Amino acid sequence: METEWVTLGAMASGAPLRLPIHTIRGSRPGPVVGLSAGIHGDEIAPVEVVRKVVSLIDPAAMHGTLRVMPVANPLAFEGATRHTPHDMLNLNRVFPGDPAGWITEQLAAAIVDRFLPGLDALIDLHAGGIFPTVDYVYILNDEALSRSLNFNVLYRAGRSFAGTLGTVAIDLGISTVVVEAGGGVDQEDIYVGKAAMGVFRALSYLGLHTPNPLPPVIPTVVDELLTIRPRQGGLFVPEKRIGDLGRIVPRGTLLGRVYDPYGFGELERFEAPFERTVLILLRGGVGRVIPGDYAYMLGKPEGE
């Protein structure tokens, strides 16, 4: 494995700000595939997925090259925050960046300049963050690639968010898939294993790795996502747990409540909004919420 450290400069402490990009070359020619994680510093599971894939992959069995960027935002990763603590910008909203801009924009520019060139495909890993857990894969510009990961839920995005790494990769003609798996504090090992297996299946589809003999699942494809955020802060008590992710529940199903932790009264409740509602992101445990937090992401099956 070859490692390139892309150095942007020095922090006020004198420590260098740098990005590691690892290159694993197979024994035979083939596609160049990028694997990225850590764009959001509170999404820890994807970093472990990358470590697991690198530890298991055998270059002798590879047809092509795997380029790996395990921690795209070291500053946010150190702080376990979604945004870069130094300028409070979201790295995945400022691509393609600006080498003369804010520190987050400089990180984005370096990634676009040093990581994306030469890629035939990009697998970009994300998770739900510190509290919520998520489980789905985007369909972007290569549906077969998205399906190859063998996730139970696929989201056919009508658009990709402006300023994301995936959007820039698509504009460059790179086959791109964004994976959302894990987060929260429960069953993280399950989602790490699932995402790592999905990566290997995608590498097989791309021709870089040995084909996977396991049969594919028949996924639920959703074409509409609704994000539910509480308007009342307080004590969050779920009715649906992590094991319910990916399931379809009927309209009106009670998903969870917010209670007043001081006076005990119910402040808010959340119910399934669609005739058939797919549970894509949720908070699986009791905890505190503030107005505007992620509570749920709910999908409507395609064609309904």
Residue span(s) of the chain under CATH 3.40.630.10 come to 2-218
Residue span(s) of the chain under CATH 2.40.50 come to 223-301
CA separation (Å) from 83 to 38, 103, 106, 164?
11, 11, 14, 14
Residue 115's pLDDT is 98
| Summary mean pLDDT of the chain | 95
Q: What is the pLDDT of residues 10-56, one digit of tens each?
A: 999 999 999 999 999 999 999 999 999 999 999 999 999 999 999 99
Burial class for 4, CB neighbours closer than 10 Å (0-12, 13-18, 19+) = middle
Confidence of residue 213 (pLDDT cuts 50, 70, 90): confident
Whether residue 164 contacts residue 180, with contact meaning beta carbons closer than 8 Å, is answered with: no
Architecture label for domain 223-301: Beta Barrel (2.40)
Q: What is the pLDDT of residues 81-98, one digit of tens each?
A: 999 999 999 999 999 999
The answer, yes or no, to whether residue 158 has pLDDT greater than 90, is no
Please tell me whether residue 191 adopts helix, strand or coil conformation.
helix
The answer, yes or no, to whether residue 188 has pLDDT greater than 90, is no
Q: What is the pLDDT of residues 49-69, one digit of tens each?
A: 999 999 999 999 999 999 999
The answer, yes or no, to whether residue 214 has pLDDT greater than 90, is no
The 10 Å Cβ neighbour count of residue 15 is 9
The values of phi and psi at residue 192, to 5°, are -60, -45
* Lowest-confidence segment of 168-172, 187-191, 202-206 by average pLDDT: 187-191
CATH value of 2-218 in 3.40.50.2300, 3.90.180.10, 3.90.550.10, 3.40.630.10: 3.40.630.10
Quick one: which of 138, 131, 137 has its CA closest to 256?
131
Structural tokens at position 252: 């009106």
The 10 Å Cβ neighbour count of residue 5 is 9
Kindly give the residue spans of alpha helices, DSSP state H, lying in the chain: 45-56, 74-79, 103-114, 143-148, 165-171, 188-205
Q: How many CA atoms lie within 13 A of 96 on its CB side?
A: 11
Helix (H) or strand (E) holding 177: strand 175-182
The answer, yes or no, to whether residue 119 has pLDDT greater than 80, is yes
Percent of the chain with pLDDT over 70: 99
Confidence of residue 7 (pLDDT cuts 50, 70, 90): very high
Say how far apart CA 146 and CA 37 lie, in whole Å.
Answer: 17
Structural tokens at position 93: 């909203």
pTM here? 0.96
Please tell me whether residue 160 adopts helix, strand or coil conformation.
coil
The answer, yes or no, to whether residue 186 has pLDDT greater than 70, is no
Structural tokens at position 110: 């370096």
Partners of 102 in the β-ladder? none
The answer, yes or no, to whether residue 269 has pLDDT greater than 80, is yes
Quick one: which of 194, 176, 81 has its CA closest to 135?
194
The answer, yes or no, to whether residue 227 has pLDDT greater than 80, is yes
